[in-house]
Chains A and B, each alone.
Chain A
């Protein structure tokens, strides 16, 4: 153990502890900006500098280890003056138009500058000029970038895609797309993890709020919105609600306030996905030789983009089932339109997603099969819907709880857990068990695939047949898993992949909390909803049963194939 003194407090910590962690242990919070625990500990911003007694040069607390007997001052006159000056320098290289920034109020730089009482910047403003394709789902504003390098590190260390890299040299050093490429050509998965780990507003999703308000204002459009499972865990975070206040009923109510005509639950098509994908798995399983193994889930477009660019020869392994979002779109402009007695051309189909890649997915040409423009016209992230609630000055905590609109708001616990890593696998196994044995398993039978481990595996026996499954979240973990499959180190039948660590709960379209990973706590909410749900099997969803009865006939029917399945090989990646 190492003993040291921080601001005249005695602290004892294990060897190898950083000064920052040692101070935190003593209840002293040293301000920091570029630091991202375990990911970015490079001492770039020089905000966490502290003074070591007997040493002239200040040292960064985030990436320097404690030494026996050292005395540290986190607020000496020298530290105070230097830290403030460094923040002033950062501000001089940053577009400080906070009023027009999506991160205003949730910006680490803004907070530190405010905390330090900076009221003017004595330097010339030198922020970089921004050049970016504003139509791409991922937007980088160079003028706001503070070169903390977190985006580079997340993309490299967690997602293993290296889309971002250091670019320029000397004082023009900045973040650029790898190998001088345009972002469209860089094989970005659009997971959005760089966005949720940016401390300022330099990275964000393309803002489609304006288009949404226009559609709501258009009397000729009927707006039909679907809400993804993971959104219910997080939508309140961006508008300052407590977890208990931010119920699904209040979100429905807020959407109705804004003027959405029909409000449905993506969970319905999550159940539909299970029916199609589960049946497809059984079909493949019973005709093993005709297919490449393992079968991969296909509901995460970040993952689909990844596999298309990194392992194109394995696209065939993907289930042909569309994602719940796209199934909802296809059903909306056919069956639902018919049920509601409205004309499909008039429908403006919207989805609210915890995801940036979904904005790409809805635009993929050969995913629109209903025949009335795009099956899903617009995707909004959780963050955008929060901004809309604020723009419409809706006091969500005062709203009454309301229900989804009839029939397509009916869901099961199986559909709800789609939003967490392992959830798709668990839901699929529950129904696969039924399809094989004609009886329901204990819904908790497959819980071994839950949890935040990046790569989980399990073997389940269903009527004497062993099914080897694996679940990975985060693309770095995914790459390891795929490499292991390709090197014949592991063999699986069914593999679930979600691009974001922890699954959609930790999605790149979710509200941002600097230096806090939320996937686990949000995932627990989903599993809680599943545990208390009346229905916990996709095949028991009465709306699903009715949909097959009245419209689709049966899983993998011709109609299903036309509307609910896709050939991922035909998706165009870069446009």
Chain B
């Protein structure tokens, strides 16, 4: 035997490594509605397999915990509620006395579960089943369940596969009147738990939608239902307001949208740069929505409590969807210097076609969200010599989509993470001279699991610049509404889950002004929910449906293969203009990708419960 060996992995080890990856993807693909106690028990079994076997709490205790959890779950075993105390005691023993993290962390998972879903433990012991709220989620089609607007994803993918892009758009519009906008800029929560993760990678769902809207031609909207004579006022013509307007108008109500600015679109126009969402594409969706018979009043400011009352008097229902269009202050010394501007202001003026001049300037952007990336890339396009993005946490803690961060870097923006803005130094004339930042280190995790930034105890650094753009979040202007008596909490309007304002019948609210700054699809969903409940409030139950026939799935195996990614114009080519960056799929790519869809609407529980919602 040699004195030392090079470490090599044997075949079994290699295969197990592969299985670990399969398991990771499998956990990603976990749909909503799984039994949490069952999951805890399954995790425990995995943890126990990892024990080295040395110390008692881990070797024996984790096994005993498993038996106890199985007793809780077992339909044919009679146990009483004392078992929950025993589980807790045992888990605490393991947490406090196991020799290493293998044992302590396994026990911690059980304890977190006991806190987080104790009522499910109790329901299992007393009634041998999950609490009703979990039962009701029963393994839905993942992409549909995770889409806030519940768009029929497998339906439109199958239509794309059959080349029926116009039908695909019709089907999407049943739940979402912004198919083009979402094809271009949706954050696609639908992809997160795609069952295709079990095999390789999620379907490029947004790419499929993009192919549909790029190849559908002009698709007329459904016929308007008979006139009801009811009038609905919508305050704010953003994605939420226009979605509500579209559905309510289709239902036969008279809808008037009051928009403060010159153009419709809200944040879609005044918040998202045109290289991501070209104006003419946005207009196509808006035109389709307006073709439902929506009346529009632009440059119309609902300025005071009185005019809100007037709307209430003149209309049968009011929907407030004013969005979140004002910026938050940075809160550091020197922030009122000339040259410090908010992202919201820049994007808004660009929405009205006024371009700021950043030629040869050094620009610093503060923030780590999508808006920060948008303004950084916009500044680059407006001729900035240098753009630096300053963020107090790490790159991986940014809330911006990874592809947005990559895009910004590819276009030459510089990313300075773990730098907390400390103060702004200005010239004698009051112009920005530089931003001082304090280096940070990533500290202990907060409740959401993101490490908190901590002062690195290092020297302040100076970033010379002439422009500082703050992109640290937006807020809603709620003053008039508050005066009128609409409840406000932490700067947002307080509305119920069904979009109503408690105590003020007939007034509804939704979108960013209720949720705080969020995504377009959340705004669309809020508009859809509001439309349904306003319709009911007006005494109707109009049904929105779509008679498009969904093709049967093609029979075939599903060997692992790559996911089709959309291509972009090269950074060097695109960085200087506001033309669209992304390129849609080719026909071959679209066919290939559509065929990857596992059709969870037909296979699995989708064919039985939790499948297609044909109407709402």
Q: Chain A residues in contact with chain B, CB under 8 A?
A: 16, 41-44, 52, 55-57, 59, 63-65, 67, 70, 128-129, 131, 142, 149, 152-153, 165-170, 172, 174, 176, 179-180
Contacts and interface: CB of A to CB of B under 8 A. Distances in A.
Main secondary structure of the interface of A (DSSP, over half): loop
Nearest to A59: B555
Contact of B555 (A70, A131, A142, A170): A70
Contacts of A56: 557
B222 interface: no
B75 interface: yes
B285 interface: no
B555 A128 contact: no
A16 B75 contact: no
Tell me which of A64, A165, A179, A180 has the highest count of chain B C-beta atoms within 10 A of its own C-beta.
A180
B129 A65 contact: no
Contacts of A153: 608
Contacts of B129: 167-168, 176, 180
B611 to A, nearest CB: 10
Interface string B119-152: 0000100011110101100110000000000000
B101 interface: no
B75 A168 contact: yes
A172 B135 CA distance: 12
Interface in B533-555: 552-555
A179 B132 contact: yes
Contacts of A41: 607
Contact of A128 (B75, B134, B135, B602): B75
Interface string B601-612: 011000111000
Contact of B35 (A63, A129, A166, A170): A170
B135 A180 contact: yes
Contacts of A128: 75-76
Given A149-B608, A166-B609, A170-B35, A64 B132 contact: no
The 6 A-B residue pairs with the shortest CB-CB distance, nearest first, are A129-B76, A169-B35, A42-B608, A65-B552, A170-B38, A56-B557
14 contacts: A16-B552, A43-B603, A52-B555, A55-B555, A57-B557, A64-B553, A131-B128, A168-B35, A168-B128, A168-B129, A169-B130, A169-B139, A172-B38, A176-B129
Given A42-B607, A149-B608, A169-B34, A174 B75 contact: yes
Nearest to B607: A42
A16 B552 CA distance: 8
Nearest to B76: A129
B542 to A, nearest CB: 14
A63 B553 CA distance: 11
A169 B134 contact: yes
B134 A55 contact: no
A486 to B, nearest CB: 13
A168 B130 contact: yes
Interface string B504-542: 000000000000000000000000000000000000000
A266 B75 CA distance: 44
Nearest to B138: A166
B35 to A, nearest CB: 4
A488 to B, nearest CB: 14
A128 B34 CA distance: 20
B33 A169 contact: yes
B331 interface: no
A149 B608 CA distance: 9
A152 B128 CA distance: 19
Given A149-B608, A167-B135, A129 B75 contact: yes
Interface in B26-40: 33-35, 38
B369 to A, nearest CB: 36
Interface string B590-616: 000000000000110001110000000
A64 B130 contact: no
Nearest to A43: B607
Interface string B22-59: 00000000000111001000000000000000000000
A400 B225 CA distance: 67
Interface in B309-346: none
Tell me which of B75, B123, B603 has the highest count of chain A C-beta atoms within 10 A of its own C-beta.
B75
Nearest to A64: B555
B73 interface: yes
Tell me which of A128, A172, A174 has the highest count of chain B C-beta atoms within 10 A of its own C-beta.
A172
Nearest to A16: B552
A172 B75 contact: yes
Nearest to A127: B76
Contacts of B139: 169
A179 B555 CA distance: 36
B159 to A, nearest CB: 16
B556 interface: yes
Contacts of A52: 555
A129 B123 CA distance: 17
Contacts of B138: 166, 169
A170 B607 contact: no
A172 B127 CA distance: 13
A55 B76 contact: no
Contacts of B603: 43
Contacts of B553: 64
Nearest to A176: B129
Nearest to B553: A64
B31 to A, nearest CB: 11
A169 B38 contact: yes
Nearest to A153: B608
Given A67-B555, A169-B135, 16 more contacts: A42-B608, A44-B608, A63-B607, A65-B552, A129-B76, A131-B128, A153-B608, A166-B609, A168-B128, A168-B129, A169-B38, A169-B130, A169-B134, A172-B73, A172-B75, A180-B135
Contacts of A57: 557
A20 to B, nearest CB: 14
Nearest to B556: A55
A142 B607 CA distance: 23
Contacts of A63: 602, 607
B230 to A, nearest CB: 18
Contacts of B33: 169
A16 B551 CA distance: 10
Contacts of A149: 608
B46 to A, nearest CB: 15
A554 B40 CA distance: 71
Contacts of B608: 42, 44, 149, 153
A43 B599 CA distance: 14
A376 B123 CA distance: 41
A142 B75 CA distance: 10
Nearest to A128: B75
Tell me which of A70, A142, A170 has the highest count of chain B C-beta atoms within 10 A of its own C-beta.
A170
Contacts of A65: 552
Contacts of A180: 123, 127, 129, 132, 135
Contacts of B130: 168-169
Contacts of B76: 128-129
Interface in B285-314: none
A52 B123 CA distance: 45
Contacts of B554: 67
Contacts of B127: 180
A66 B555 CA distance: 9
B135 to A, nearest CB: 6
Nearest to A169: B35
Nearest to A149: B608
B198 to A, nearest CB: 14
A61 to B, nearest CB: 11
Contacts of A179: 132
Given A59-B555, A65-B552, A70-B555, A170 B132 contact: no
Contacts of B555: 52, 55, 59, 64, 67, 70
Interface string B90-106: 00000000000000000
A131 B38 CA distance: 21
Contacts of A42: 607-608
A55 B38 contact: no
Contacts of A172: 35, 38, 73, 75
